[in-house]
Structure 1
Amino acid sequence: MYFAAEKGGLGFSQGTAASIMSIYGSLVYLTAVIGGFIADRILGSRKTVFWGGVLIMFGHIALAVPYGAPTLFLSIGLITIGTGLLKPNVSEMVGTLYSETDSRRDAGFSIFVMGINLGSLLAPAIVGTVGQNINFHLGFSIAAVGMFFGLIQYYFGGRKHLSEATLHPTDPITPEELPKVKRNILIAVLIAVVVFGGLLISGNMNVTNVVLVFSILGVVLPIGYFVMMLSSHKTTKIERSRLWAYIPLFVASVLFWCIEEQGSVVLALFAANQTQLKVALPFAQFNILPSWFQMLNPAFIILYTPFFAILWTKWGKRQPSTPAKFAAGLIIAGLSFVVMVIPILTHGTNALVSPLWLVLSWLIVEVAELLISPIGLSATTKLAPKAFQSQMMSIWFLSDACAQAINAQVVKFYTPGNEVMYFSIWGGVAVVLGILLFMLVPRIKHLMQGVN
């Protein structure tokens, strides 16, 4: 987005590009609400995942077409809705493979996350290299082709391995509920028309204000969702207690994702602008592409996952509780930003620093991710009210949506000369809140009503 047009880019300012990148990530997870509702109440999880993949494929076809900003925004719409249909439901289907008391559950989700990250490891190596060395649009077309073959594999593999229950909604809409559902959809459409119509009429329809609207939505929506589930007559007393236990975990995950998701925004900018990308080898000089640093996230996940899967399985019922894992993860995530202060203080803001600092930051934060991401997925399936199973998974993804909605506003403050304060504040807040969460562990465990 911020590459000049003559370099194949769109010529956006760096701040605008970073803000769009963050809100794009937020929308990917915001639309999980739609995916959870459609799976729970209309199509079932297996069909919803399939049609999500179809939309993602068409979104990348749009990116492969060289028609500038309009195709970028079209692709964002298609990919975000498609991922919203796919992401929460494929995770929920993993949950159906295990009973609530099966000690292999966390290990199973760890392996699931490793599978996701295997794709994430290959993507920057293929798409990033092709995009930066040949043509951005050719790189995006590779993603479309990949999704096409993924859909074929999913369709036939799902018929063989997935439960028949995944073909049906867990809480189908009744004829009596249909008028209310239609009314709520109409209200949502009217609100969107009023908000964006107002911006258009007042002459304030621009990227900055549209991003601001979605940032507000990203924070307000999960709050509304918790209120809805806590007040629903479909939620039992025990389920309500577990929801209250889930709230501090949700808040912790928001702060974690605020840090982790800046790897594709702030750390990506750091890699491109403040990192030494020419590495001298004994007989040659090797150039690193900035996009390759995005491989560090999945690479460390893949390296760490077998260790954590074995660890949780070996410890069994003796392993730390879910809130204790979250607290440790939050502290470790904060430290991943604290270490980024060191090279800036020692070399200054204008010097190019060793790429090993970025390697160290990702090495640290991915330990935190394995303490929070797969554990959060597992906890969500265990703490979910029965009537809101897929929608509860949407809530988990809303923590990432909320985080990136916040990021869309704060990444603008990552400017030359402000790096030390930026990394220090984010890292310090995460460490302090992680310590506070440790203090709340006994209370949270009590509210979880027997779920560990």
Structure 2
Amino acid sequence: MAATTLDVDSPQSTSPSGGKTFLGHPRGLATLFMTETWERFSYYGMRALLVLYLVAPTAKGGLGFNTATGLAIYSVYTAMVYLLALPGGWLSDRLWGARKTVAVGGGIIMVGHFLLAVPAEASFFAGLALIAVGSGMLKSNISTMVGHLYPDRNDARRDGGFTIFYMGINLGAFLAPLVIGTVGQKVNWHLGFALAGVGMAIGLIQFLVGSRHLSKASDVVASPLPAAERTAILRKAGLWLAVAVACYAAVGLSGVFTINWVLTPLSLAGIAIPVLVFTRIKRDPELSQDDTRKVSGFIWFFIAAAVFWMIYDQSGSTLTVFASDNTAGTLFGIGFPSSWFQSLNPLFIMALAPVVAWLWVALAKKAKNPSTSRKFVYGLMGIGLSFAVMMAAMAAASGGVKVSPLWLALVYLVQTVAELCLSPVGLSVTTKLAPQKYASQMMGVWFLAVTAGDCVASLLQQFLGDAFLSTASFAVQGTAAALAGFAVWMYRKRIGALMGDVH
């Protein structure tokens, strides 16, 4: 009988270090859990302030961008965080291994947050760039390291382990807006950003101290990079960098440069790159036919996830603006800053994730566990429903009325249930379907679904302007999610056949 996530005495509950277990899982899960908690504390604390700081008037210490531009900057930034998970996985697979890549990435993130604390626009955007680079190095590899703790790809604890890991993400995400959001909005923007840097520093120290409990597979460089290939890559990277510098220098000297010259190309690149990546992987002659079929099955999940994240990631942008402009800042006579709404989703996840993890295992024991495809359908339908609720909230806010915070609470609750059906399961199925050659890189490819979804949202925000925050926009996006869910349902048997022995 497979162990549950809380079955500490199970004979399957072994740790790579041979020591104690963590809730019936390998001891290394605790190290990764706490590292991700603090990294997410830093990331979500900064994210809770980002749009508010971008659109705040300069007289109030903000950068003074209009709402549409602020939303687009946020979407492109989050897209780049996940886009850079792909080269982060490549660094692990070809140069450093997962453990070293995570450590270096954590250090870069910490420096980036402290740059945000400097009250200058140039250092602010430089800090955002460093956080995106460091997050790309850390995100794909720390999730892969969770997979390393379960050598058997069909270990029944695997989904539960990722769900527990996901709770670590949300513990940090819950605390961050309450601490960093309050300090940033009520005291000083840059002091809030500095607290995010402190959080990442704590996470990095914890990782270095507890890394002895991790699997030795996390030190392995799966496909070492030959010296000749390294030289060729550096040459190509230098060439493309020179082209980019020349182009933007020309635009700047012509006097027509605006922020859209950065946002639009990055948004288009975030959509095009996943297509190129999948084309390259499927054409790799070193992959077996079975690996190629599994990649084809993974593409279905990727597209579905891109639609999901296009809507879900607006919790830190569109919904944050709605919270600030259209939602009452009091409930039952208690006042609170608008950034606190960002704590609702992780709070709901911490409450519901153990229930969902238990449910999947309980259903598996009865041979009734829904397939990965069905779980994705539930997630897509749920995220579409959340925007149906937002349509009602927008209608209630017509005429400048400040609506009850309970509207957004309901939206976040619906989105949380949808997320638990799709996101942890998506992380798990990625590690199952990944060809060995692309072990860490496939986790980076999974995160490209977030990039693609956020980039679509960014283009829509730039094109529609203020109309993006409207009832019609919510209706179109919600319908798109429902249609995507219907497509996965209709083709679930074909997807299952492509997955082969993975279930």
Q: Normalised by the size of structure 1, how large is the TM-score?
A: 0.95
Deviation at 1:344, TM superposition (A): 2.6
Deviation at 1:167, TM superposition (A): 1.9
Cα shift readout 1:1-57 (whole Å, capped 9, x = no counterpart): 111122121111111111111111011111112201110000000010011111110
Aligned-residue CA RMSD (Å)? 1.6
Q: List per-residue Cα deviations over 1:254-276 (Å, max 9, x = no partner).
A: 00000100000100010000111
Q: Helix, strand or coil: the match of 1:318? A: coil
Deviation at 1:313, TM superposition (A): 1.4
Alignment partner, residue 312 of structure 1: 360
| CA displacement, residues 174-205 of structure 1 (integer Å, 9 cap, x when unaligned) | 24533443344345434533543453354443
2:97 paired with 1:44: yes
Report the Cα offset of residue 359 of structure 1.
0.5
CA distance in 1, matches of 2:227, 2:469: 57
Which of 415, 426, 440 does residue 390 from structure 1 map onto? 440
Residue of structure 1 in register with 2:454 after alignment? 404
Name the SS for the 2:276 alignment partner. helix
Partner of 1:442: 493
The one of 3, 9, 13 equivalent to 2:66 is: 13
SS at match of 2:466: coil
Contact 2:91 2:101 in 1 (8 A): yes
Alignment match, 2:342: 294
Q: How does 1:275-354 map to 2 (within 5 A)?
A: 275-279=327-331, 281=332, 285-316=333-364, 318-354=368-404
Q: Aligned equivalents of 1:63 and 1:313: distance in 2? A: 43
The CA distance in 1 between the partners of 2:134 and 2:234, in whole Å, is 22
Conserved in 2, the CA contact under 8 Å of 1:40 and 1:170?
yes
Whether the 8 Å CA contact 2:67–2:466 is kept in 1: the answer is no
Q: Greater shift after overlay, 269-278 or 403-412?
A: 403-412
How many residue pairs match? The answer is 446
Equivalent position of 2:431 in the other structure: 381
Structure 1, gaps ≥5 residues long: none
Q: Report the counterpart of residue 29 of structure 1 in structure 2.
A: 82
Residue 234 of structure 1: aligned partner: 286
CA contact (8 A) 1:48 1:89 kept: yes
Give the TM-score, by structure 2 length.
0.86
CA distance in 1, matches of 2:217, 2:439: 13
> How far apart, in 1, do the equivalents of 2:217 and 2:147 lie?
13
| Whole-angstrom distance in 2 between the partners of 1:195 and 1:403 | 27
Shift of 1:414: 5.9
Q: How many percent of aligned residue pairs carry the same amino acid?
A: 39
Question: Alignment partner of 1:334: what SS?
Answer: helix
CA gap 1:269/1:161 in 2 versus in 1, 3 angstroms: same
CA contact (8 A) 2:381 2:485 kept: yes
- Structure 1 residue 320 displacement after superposition: 1.1
- For 2:155, the equivalent position in structure 1 comes to 102
CA distance in structure 2 between the aligned counterparts of 1:173 and 1:195, rounded to whole angstroms:
31
Structure 2 unaligned residues grouped into runs of 5+: 1-53
Of 31, 43, 62, 2:115 maps to: 62
CA gap of 1:33–1:171, structure 2 versus 1, over 3 A, is: same
Structure 1 residues 352-398: Cα deviation after superposition (integer angstroms, max 9, x where no partner): 11111100011001111111111110011000011001110000011
User: Does 2:477 match 1:426?
Assistant: yes
Matched with 2:245 is 193
Contact 1:414 1:422 in 2 (8 A): no
Instruction: Give the AA of the match of 1:420.
Output: T
- TM-fit CA distance, 1:345: 2.6
In 1, the alpha carbon distance for the partners of 2:81 and 2:63 equals 22
| Deviation for aligned residue 1:226 | 0.3
Q: CA deviation at 1:350?
A: 2.1
Indicate if the aligned counterparts of 2:174 and 2:347 stay in contact, CA closer than 8 A.
yes
Partner of residue 206, structure 2: 153
Where does residue 245 of structure 1 map in the other structure? 297
Gap change, CA 1:349 and 1:24, over 3 Å in 2: farther
